[in-house]
């Protein structure tokens, strides 16, 4: 581990750890599982919001929840595409 001297926002010198300059290698082994967890949570949130839409008389809240669910559905599509890509990469042993 090597220290690097830099100037902070105040113009004063500070010492930073050089590990920040060397990012960790890309570890994709659990990406499918992480994506699946995110998909499951997003579906849960959509269902909870739909329940609230049915129960609340507040039109503004209903509209906000409806719009949020639209964004969630869009995110679901993207996460599902990404999970397919990750599963394919796993099958190819990440040698693409």
pTM beyond 0.75: the answer is no
pLDDT tens digits, one per residue of 27-65: 777 888 999 999 999 999 999 999 999 999 999 999 999
| Domain residue ranges of the chain, discontinuous segments joined by + | 28-96
- d(CA 39, CA 76) in angstroms, rounded, equals 6
pLDDT tens digits, one per residue of 60-95: 999 999 999 999 999 999 999 999 998 888 888 755
Which stretches of 1-96 are DSSP H helices? 31-55, 59-91
Residue from 39, 37, 33 nearest 75 by CA: 39
First to last CA, the chain: 32
Contact of 28 with 94, CB cutoff 8 Å: yes
């Amino acid at each position: 581990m090597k220290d690097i001297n830099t100037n902070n926002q105040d113009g004063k010198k500070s010492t930073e750890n050089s590990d920040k300059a060397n990012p960790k290698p890309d570890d994709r082994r659990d990406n499918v599982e992480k994506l699946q967890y995110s998909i499951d949570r997003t579906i849960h949130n959509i269902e909870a919001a739909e329940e609230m839409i049915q129960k609340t008389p507040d039109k503004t809240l209903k509209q906000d929840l409806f719009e949020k669910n639209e964004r969630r559905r869009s995110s679901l599509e993207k996460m599902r595409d990404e999970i397919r890509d990750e599963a394919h990469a796993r099958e190819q042993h990440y040698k693409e």
